Amino acid sequence: MGLFQILDTDYCSSLKPIISVLKNGFMPLIQIGIPIILIVLGSIDLGKAVIASDDKEVKAAQSRLIKRCIYAVAIFFVVTIVQLLTNLLSDMQNDETGNVDANSWWDCWRKV
Does pTM surpass 0.85?
Answer: no
* pLDDT value of position 56: 92
Domain boundaries, the chain: 3-111
**Which DSSP string corresponds to the chain?**
--HHHHH-TTHHHHHHHHHHHIIIIIHHIIIIIHHHHHHHHHHHHHHHHHHHT-HHHHHHHHHHHHHHHHHHHHHHHHHHHHHHHHHHHHT----TT----HHHHHHHHHH-
pLDDT digits 0-9 by tens, 68-102: 999 999 999 988 898 888 777 766 654 444 555 55
